[in-house]
Chain A
């Protein structure tokens, strides 16, 4: 799997390394299922989510809060379902 990943995908995988174990686990499952099939728009949305502080991202990923930006909804839904 590693060899077939593009550099962009590798970059996203590394940036999914977080300070909170919970986020590491959630994002690992999401990436294992979806990384190679994300659309350009989803990559943009995921990049935006990766910019968030861990605790805020965790609240969104656990569904405790909804995102301010509607563009984040589809990829966030995939994260929650993974």
Chain B
């Protein structure tokens, strides 16, 4: 079947913060750019980011990019690449001022400068004292950023393909990426988009977890596309968790609730944090509380029909305190947990929030992967990845708060800038291979022809339960080994799904089946990489290997879909201009 074809200089998959920032750089330089998005761009998941953008503007107290760099490296538990981290922290002020110039409504100081908020982990002078570094627009920073960038892109004549889902990358015989196959939801028809360069900007894949703060659209489509095209996925064992998401929903209950006196209880009604953190109890740090909660659940002291959550009790604070100091929490509990915290505890569970790993890139956003037996890292011509779907790696094993929005801006712009140069020396479109659309067409044909098979929702639930249970916060070799077995069974089931509705037009079941194929790839990468990493570092906490092991594990994992194989590459400890930050024990 010959598909119709359109031609662009650059196609960008994903219309969130990073995709829009890269598109803007290219469109304003006069390039012919297309952005593909499953939903209207201003409804991308970037809209959920509230905290702010980290940048050492020094508007509140003295600050320096080198201190920001130190905080980021320490936060990453030394798994972050120090060249990329220096690049990001040095560029932070510039990208924030640019956004200001574009019309972003930042909060202001009385003197007119951008107001900066305090945020956990941000310090002056290499950990000496806290510093206010987060630039925000009330509690709508991500929302304001998306709208600002979208308007600017429309002005620059960037072309948007809204309600299109990208299916696969097209690689030619030399391995260069020469475009994508994408599906228009309205018609259900696939089409080829030939391009000199392709940028993946599809965000995280947090929906692999049963409890996730991520919106339903976060299905790791770019990760699936990359993996199917032979590109490895880096550091997929590292996922950031928040201790208190509403069980069964994922909506966050702020840590302020425990600050006000809320306590966690297991199925015996025991205040279990007293055992794990005798001094700080329920106010211990995020990772300690998350791990304790997950351990209680794993050891059978969870609450509920599935014994899969614990309880957050605050009724003892009294109606007055709850209504006065925690009104938003009561609203969330009523709406999403169907309980009134004035009378009943809220069911909570550690909840997946952010994906540190992703498609391996350098700080220009170019996708890099080992080539041949030599294993040296080489650029994949024509392919870029930015934002949460990429692993550059600035977050390493654990992301510093406010660095996610910064990552989008810095590397979105950097990829755009690099491409403006790259397109000058690569002015021609490469030929499409004869089999350009084969992989996508086979995937669609399987779904369209399968008379019977596995139910999408059931397989998706099995995947989410498996990842939540086996690759949660509390990890052991046994749990992970069992998890690898189970996820491979799930992956097999995902290859045999069937949908009843064979219509092409706006067939959401068909879209969800395609999304599930991407999610399952990410889930398998996560379990396999976590099982192999026999150490604890950042977000990976192994009960059987409790310490960080720099001798053996100061390296990035690379997982390949083909053969579900792992490879490794060293962490880049060499910054661009300053001295290396040597790994130290991480204490706060």
Contact = CB atoms under 8 A, between A and B. Distances in A.
Q: Do A and B come from one complex?
A: yes
Interface of A: 2-3, 5, 7, 10-11, 13-15, 17-26, 53-55, 62
6 contacts: A5-B501, A18-B217, A22-B336, A25-B249, A25-B336, A55-B140
Given A21-B250, A22-B251, A53-B42, A11 B506 contact: yes
B331 interface: yes
Nearest to B336: A25
Contacts of A15: 39
Given A3-B501, A18-B216, A19-B44, 8 more contacts: A3-B500, A7-B505, A11-B506, A15-B39, A20-B48, A21-B250, A25-B249, A53-B42
Nearest to B138: A55
Interface residues of B, number: 37
B61 interface: no
B493 interface: no
A55 B138 CA distance: 12
Contacts of A7: 503, 505-506
Overall SS of chain B's interface: loop
Interface in B20-46: 38-39, 42-46
A18 B215 contact: yes
Contact of A17 (B38, B42, B507): B38
Query: Which 5 pairs across A and B sit closest by C-beta, in order of nearness?
Result: A19-B47, A10-B506, A19-B43, A24-B216, A11-B506
B434 interface: no
Overall SS of chain A's interface: helix
Contacts of A20: 47-48, 215
Given A14-B511, A25-B336, A19 B46 contact: yes
B339 interface: no
A80 B44 CA distance: 23
B72 interface: no
Contacts of B46: 19
B163 interface: yes
Contacts of B249: 21, 25
B501 A2 contact: yes
Contacts of A26: 335
Contacts of A22: 251, 335-336
Nearest to B335: A62
B574 to A, nearest CB: 38
Contacts of B47: 19-20, 53-55
A21 B506 contact: no
Interface in B308-343: 331, 335-336
Contacts of A54: 43, 47, 143
Contact of B39 (A18, A25, A55): A18
B508 interface: yes
A18 B48 CA distance: 10
B429 to A, nearest CB: 32
A10 B251 contact: no
A23 B214 CA distance: 11
A53 B143 contact: yes
A17 B215 contact: yes
A76 to B, nearest CB: 14
Interface string B393-411: 0000000000000000000
A4 B79 CA distance: 51
A21 B215 contact: yes
Nearest to B456: A2
Interface in B210-251: 212-217, 249-251
Contact of A19 (B39, B212, B499, B511): B39
B185 interface: yes
Most buried by B among A10, A17, A19, A55: A19
A2 B509 contact: yes
B52 to A, nearest CB: 16
Interface in B181-219: 185, 212-217
Contacts of B506: 7, 10-11, 14
B64 interface: no
A57 B54 CA distance: 28
Given A3-B500, A25-B251, A14 B185 contact: yes
Contacts of B336: 22, 25
A5 B503 CA distance: 11
Contacts of B213: 21
B439 interface: no
B147 interface: yes
Given A25-B249, A54-B43, A19 B500 contact: no
Nearest to B43: A19
Nearest to A12: B506
B217 A17 contact: yes
Nearest to B457: A2
A13 B508 contact: yes
Nearest to B44: A19
Interface string B43-63: 111111000000000000000
A19 B147 CA distance: 13
B287 to A, nearest CB: 22
Contacts of B212: 21
A21 B500 contact: no
Interface string B152-165: 00000000000100
Interface in B385-429: none
A24 B143 contact: no
B217 A19 contact: yes
B212 to A, nearest CB: 8
Contact of B331 (A13, A18, A19, A62): A62
A55 B46 CA distance: 12
Contacts of A3: 500-501
Nearest to A27: B216
